Amino acid sequence: MFPIKETVFHHLGRYLFHPSNSVWGMVMRYHNSYMAKAKERIGIQARIFYSAPISIDDLYKQIVTCTLEESILPNLNPEQSKNSFSAPNEMTPRAVLLASLYGVLYDRLKDMFYLHSTTTGEIVSVYQPSHEENQQSEQQLHNQKALAEIWLLSFSDVLVTTAGSTFGYMAYSLAGIKPWFLMRSKDQKIPDPPCRRSVTIDPCFHSPPADLICRTRNITNPGKVVRHVRHCEDFDGGVKLFD
């Protein structure tokens, strides 16, 4: 059924995972209002885990460093002064969708492209559907917003997601694209490199069957025991499908 093994979740998810009408209404209204006509849709999903703490300032720097170094976003014009003006070109703008609990990340990304021109002359628009600040899983509306943002991210042409985040896994697997992972912080510092490209569109299974763990305990690559299975790049101990 799945000649390309890493597409199993992608196909099953799109076939079986159907949002309610109210959630799909949120998705369509937002997408059609802000994202549909963009030249390119770039999704960024960012969160901070208790197990890998990092300051908001450093998380913002990590996002900017990753997206600029990997040419996901255009560089800012270093020669632009406060008293100069360069007319933007007439190309359709790029749209950046930020999915995050933290509103300050949106404010800073938006200001970065509002206050400065880009070297390409492109206009970059930044959007954030919600910023709840704290996860509120007991609230139905909060969960509906989260599901809507997963689907909005899945419409992206390029994705940057947080390493180890199941929210991000859902988005890029439904999209069927290989994301860049914002790698987990070490000692509360920005990791080097700040992000890595996934080599598969399959989400990471954080808790693989105990039998697989036992059989691969002394084997670096579990694919030697189970075909098309290897360790995840972004989560120690997890496994995912590869071709």
- Mean predicted confidence (pLDDT) in 92-102: 92
With a cut of 70, say whether residue 206 has pLDDT above it: yes
pLDDT score of 85: 57
State the pLDDT at residue 221: 57
Which residue bears the tokens 């694209």? 177
Strand segments, DSSP code E, in 171-237 are 180-182, 195-197, 229-231
Residues 21-62: pLDDT tens digits?
A: 999 999 999 999 999 999 999 999 999 998 889 999 999 999
What is the per-residue pLDDT for 213?
55
Are 177 and 48 in contact by the 8 Å Cβ rule? The answer is no
Q: Which residues contact 32 (CB under 8 A, 6 or more apart)?
A: none
Mean pLDDT of the region 100-108: 95
How far is 237 from 232, CA to CA, in rounded Å? 7
Residues of the chain with pLDDT > 90, as a percent, come to 61
User: Which two structure tokens, joined as six digits, stand for 44?
Assistant: 């960024």
pLDDT for position 224: 60
Rounded Cα distance, 51 and 121, in Å = 40
Q: Which structure tokens are listed for 174?
A: 């439904």
Tokens linked to 172: 């890029």
Q: What is the pLDDT of residue 107?
A: 96
How many CB atoms neighbour CB 104 within 10 A?
14
Q: Please answer whether residues 112 and 142 qualify as being in contact, where contact means their C-beta atoms are separated by less than 8 angstroms.
A: no
pLDDT tens digits for 52-91?
899 999 999 999 999 999 999 999 987 665 555 555 666 7
pLDDT digits (tens, 9 = 90+) for 136-167: 777 889 899 999 999 999 999 999 999 999 99
Helical ranges in 96-189 per DSSP H: 103-115, 140-153, 166-175
**Range list of β-strands (E), 47-177:** 94-100, 124-127, 158-162
User: For the chain, what is the radius of gyration of the CA atoms?
Assistant: 19
Residue 150 is predicted with a pLDDT of: 97
In whole angstroms, give the CA distance from residue 86 to residue 121: 8
In the predicted model, is pLDDT for residue 217 greater than 60? no
Quick one: what percent of the chain has pLDDT higher than 70?
Answer: 88
In whole angstroms, give the CA distance from residue 142 to residue 44: 19
List pLDDT tens digits, range 1-14. 788 889 999 999 99
| Residue located via tokens 């021109």 | 117
Residue-averaged pLDDT of the chain = 88
| Token output for 107 | 């404010």
User: Could you give the CA distance from residue 81 to residue 15 in angstroms, rounded to a whole number?
Assistant: 51
Please check the confidence at residue 243 and state whether its pLDDT lies above 90: no
